[in-house]
Structure 1
Amino acid sequence: MTDLLNNAQWFVLIGGLLVFMGLTFTVIKRLPVTSAIIYLAVGMLAGPTVLHLFHFNPLKESALLEVLTEVAVLISLFSAGVKMPVPVRFSNWKAPLLLASVSMTLTVAMVAAFAYYLLGLPLGAGVLLGAIVAPTDPVLATDVQIRHASDNDKLRFTLTCEAGMNDGTAFPFVMLGLGLLGIHDLGDAGTQWILFDVLWATVGGVLIGIICGVILAKVVWILRGKQHRHKLLDDFLGLGLIGFVYGLSVMANTWGFLAVFFAAVALRQTENQLAVKSTRKNTSSQKMPSTVSKGSLIFKEHLERLSELVLILLIGGTLFIDSWSWRAVVLALFLFFLARPVSVFIGLLGSRTSFRVQAISAWFGVRGIGSLYYLMYAIQHGLPEHIALQLMHFTLIVVTLSILLHGTTVKPLMNRFWR
């Protein structure tokens, strides 16, 4: 997988880091930085930046990295979905819907224009780069996301819901970029792209997710009810729902990330509705059956933390000192300080979202594992190597700077916001 370190040394490195994080959890929680910064620092220290104990080559290992990032994003999306407050109301979802659609599109357009006119990339590569770095990340944004199923904080809900949906809305622009590069068929005047990559893939993914989530919730409720009282494995059910929904949506040529997120949302919403109905009918003090969304959440969060550690460690192991080119740094600064804030404020016009929520949302557009997945997806689908190398360079610096900038500001700013 990587140069220099053997398997035993990798076990020592990752195992030692896990032990360190476990022993110092309370101390690290009090620090004004996120755990992702520690993983990144260890990766850069052991990688080619300092000690050169190992070097991870994303282009050479693109197939492996695609699978790793894919699994990490899916687990994170499920965890975010089952923590969505109930019931679903359009008034609550309006802001994140606007961020995941209008703001997302504006960010892609601005990054594409920047890449085309200032970085000299082909238009298709610029659109693809915009699609890669525009979506906020559900894996690395845990410090600004909903903490539990009863968390009704407006800001955390908006950022969590946006991260859950824009991983699906980014895909049409990924396909558009590949199409402009001649790798994907867009159809005459883009009709195939609009009908299938935008409309069908989006609507179909949402429907598949909702239907599967509702069905699983009702089946589990019946099996755990008064008549059956079956003991079930919530962890297996949660993982099974993720795998089944994602595989089915990909087979149906829809966006699997979107399907998994809405499957988790539908699962929790349906379980809550069934519990409310049961409470109204049952006047006794009989204990309500446990739910899949609650029972599987802790296990999913542990998997999410483990995947974050491994992937951020590998990101640190990709960087050389000369990876920090001015072109990549300027792109990241343009994205964080101009494209993201402008797109958020424009997207939320007329949404009645408070200025404080808009301002914090404009800054905390964390980029991370999702961006790496889209890049690996494009590489695996025939992206030319010379373009892949450029986009990889830009993406890694954007993700690294996002970890550093957002990771050092999230706790102080969020504490001040809540106070």
Structure 2
Amino acid sequence: MTNAQWFLLVGGLLLAMGLTSSTLKRLPVTSAIIYLAVGLLVGPTVLNLFHFNPLKESALLEVLTEAAVLISLYAAGVKMPVPVSIARWRAPILLAFVSMTVTVGMVAAFAYFLLELPLGAAILLGAIVAPTDPVLATDVQIRHPGDRDRLRFTLTCEAGMNDGSAFPFVMLGLGLLGLHEIGDFGLRWAMVDVLWATAAGIALGVACGAALAHLGYRLRNKASGHDLMDDFLGLGLIGVVYGVSVMISAWGFLAVFFAAVALRQTERKLAGAGPDVLDRLQSNGEQADPGALQQAHASAATVSEGSLVFKEHIERLSELVLILLIGGTLFIDSWSWRAIWLALFLFMVARPVSVLIGLVGTRTPWTIRGLTGWFGVRGIGSLYYLMYAIQHGLPEKIALELIHMTLIVVTLSIVFHGTSVKPLMERFWSVR
């Protein structure tokens, strides 16, 4: 496709989505399925107007997916309810670290014993498809900072953390393939890639988010008044935190998520204890008076609130473009039983079992456990890990195999989860 045709396609799709947004909300499917259908239509599966080769364009796709995940992690972080408490965060922490680890192990065993992949490639594949996605899972995530829904919070918080907690296993897989130094008996991997990178990422994110909150609060409360460009501040926080994380070998995804969480939590503490007026109004959804919302926004201006709308718009645009590209990668013969069985094993066995194991001993209701076990959406984060591995020297034969597996897993996740999310969520809310 020429540049003009790309502009026409993306622009026309944006116009169609914008003009029919009310109708689309009533459809039993998500917008991601529409983007995928268009991508399949114009891609090699049907019309063959364009073909996107992820192996040749891995550097470009790595940057695009990296940016999309970072924006999504920031948006998820600033929507976390106030205040943070161990009781509230226990379940998502267990899901993000324990359940994610179990999923990596189960998928790696499946790939090693049944798909006959090398051990390093099997672990790498497990790390690629194990984390849930913060970009494509918007229909099951917190909608706004005042959202108190427990299921939405659990899924959002888990997705915010496990994109970073999966990174050590990516590095372990690369290490076993000879592409990363893991040390004797994996000691360097355990000390640097697991302990240091995780702890440093969380600490850096918390420190930077809290510092920006204090700085913004002081500038806004000057006697003479001081205007801030919240959109720039939000993007700047993402850039600085992620850049420093890479420089000190910390996990940047964890750092950005916790920077956003710390930013919002600190801003709310500085504004006064407990949920503010804006949170209470937003928790009412459409019932909130627009005038009251506007007044609350004006009286409780924060960097996290001011930058959120802009980030969500970028998030939607990146979702559209990247899913179009996914559709443009698939041929009819891309669908192999090896990849389909992997996806079914992940959705039907590995994810539900890992959730049950991770939540053992918690008071999480069984309904929420069941829905959490199903809504493990895979998407842009998995593509980023795959491109990251390719850029770190993954052999072409293994790269092609993992590209094939990952694309089918992501595509089937969009279809399965995209067609079930609205009916299941509506049923969940109606019986509560």
Structure 1 length as normaliser, TM-score?
0.97
Work out the CA distance in 2 between the residues paired with 1:228 and 1:76.
Answer: 35
Work out the CA distance in 1 between the residues paired with 2:6 and 2:266.
Answer: 43
> Residue 83 of structure 1 contacts residue 146 of structure 1 at CA under 8 Å; is this kept in 2?
yes
* Alignment partner, residue 404 of structure 2: 393
Work out the CA distance in 2 between the residues paired with 1:345 and 1:278.
Answer: 33
* Alpha-carbon distance, 1:288 to partner: 3.8
Question: Is 1:92 matched up with 2:88?
Answer: yes
Which residue of 108, 128, 132 corresponds with 2:128?
A: 132
Unmatched segments (≥5 aa) in structure 2: 277-294
Give the number of equivalent residue pairs. Answer: 411
* Alignment partner, residue 185 of structure 2: 189
Work out the CA distance in 2 between the residues paired with 1:138 and 1:252.
Answer: 25
Deviates more, 1:222-231 or 1:371-380: 222-231
Work out the CA distance in 1 between the residues paired with 2:83 and 2:11.
Answer: 41
Q: Which amino acid aligns with 1:371?
A: S
Work out the CA distance in 2 between the residues paired with 1:182 and 1:193.
Answer: 13
* Alpha-carbon distance, 1:229 to partner: 1.3
Question: Is 1:104 matched up with 2:100?
Answer: yes
Q: Which amino acid aligns with 1:87?
A: P
* Alignment partner, residue 323 of structure 1: 334
Question: Is 1:273 matched up with 2:269?
Answer: yes
Work out the CA distance in 1 between the residues paired with 2:87 and 2:28.
Answer: 33
Work out the CA distance in 1 between the residues paired with 2:141 and 2:362.
Answer: 20
Work out the CA distance in 2 between the residues paired with 1:10 and 1:278.
Answer: 48
Query: What is the CA deviation profile of residues 251-285 of structure 1, one whole-angstrom value per residue up to 9, with x for unaligned ones?
Result: 110000000000000000000000006999xxxx9
Q: Equivalent residues in 2 for 1:152-231 (5 A)?
A: 152-231=148-227
* Alignment partner, residue 302 of structure 2: 291
Work out the CA distance in 1 between the residues paired with 2:184 and 2:329.
Answer: 40
* Alignment partner, residue 300 of structure 1: 311
Which residue of 340, 345, 348 corresponds with 1:334?
A: 345
* Alignment partner, residue 115 of structure 1: 111
Work out the CA distance in 1 between the residues paired with 2:104 and 2:312.
Answer: 30
Work out the CA distance in 2 between the residues paired with 1:320 and 1:31.
Answer: 27
Work out the CA distance in 2 between the residues paired with 1:92 and 1:229.
Answer: 37
Structure 2 length as normaliser, TM-score?
0.94
> Residue 133 of structure 1 contacts residue 367 of structure 1 at CA under 8 Å; is this kept in 2?
yes
Query: What is the CA deviation profile of residues 116-137 of structure 1, one whole-angstrom value per residue up to 9, with x for unaligned ones?
Result: 0000100000000000000000
Work out the CA distance in 2 between the residues paired with 1:99 and 1:227.
Answer: 46
> Residue 132 of structure 2 contacts residue 378 of structure 2 at CA under 8 Å; is this kept in 1?
yes
Moved over 4 A (4+): 277-280
Work out the CA distance in 2 between the residues paired with 1:159 and 1:416.
Answer: 17
Question: Is 1:149 matched up with 2:145?
Answer: yes
Work out the CA distance in 1 between the residues paired with 2:6 and 2:18.
Answer: 18
The percentage of counterpart residues that share the same residue type is 73
SS of 2:330's partner is coil
Work out the CA distance in 1 between the residues paired with 2:143 and 2:177.
Answer: 41
* Alpha-carbon distance, 1:351 to partner: 1.0
SS of 1:254's partner is coil
* Alpha-carbon distance, 1:343 to partner: 0.4
Q: Which amino acid aligns with 1:41?
A: A
> Residue 344 of structure 1 contacts residue 358 of structure 1 at CA under 8 Å; is this kept in 2?
yes
Q: Which amino acid aligns with 1:390?
A: E
SS of 1:94's partner is helix
Question: Is 1:37 matched up with 2:48?
Answer: no
Work out the CA distance in 2 between the residues paired with 1:142 and 1:254.
Answer: 27
* Alpha-carbon distance, 1:370 to partner: 0.1
Two-structure CA RMSD over aligned residues (Å): 1.5
> Residue 225 of structure 1 contacts residue 289 of structure 1 at CA under 8 Å; is this kept in 2?
no
SS of 1:268's partner is helix
SS of 2:166's partner is helix
Q: Which amino acid aligns with 2:80?
A: M
Unmatched segments (≥5 aa) in structure 1: none
* Alignment partner, residue 369 of structure 2: 358
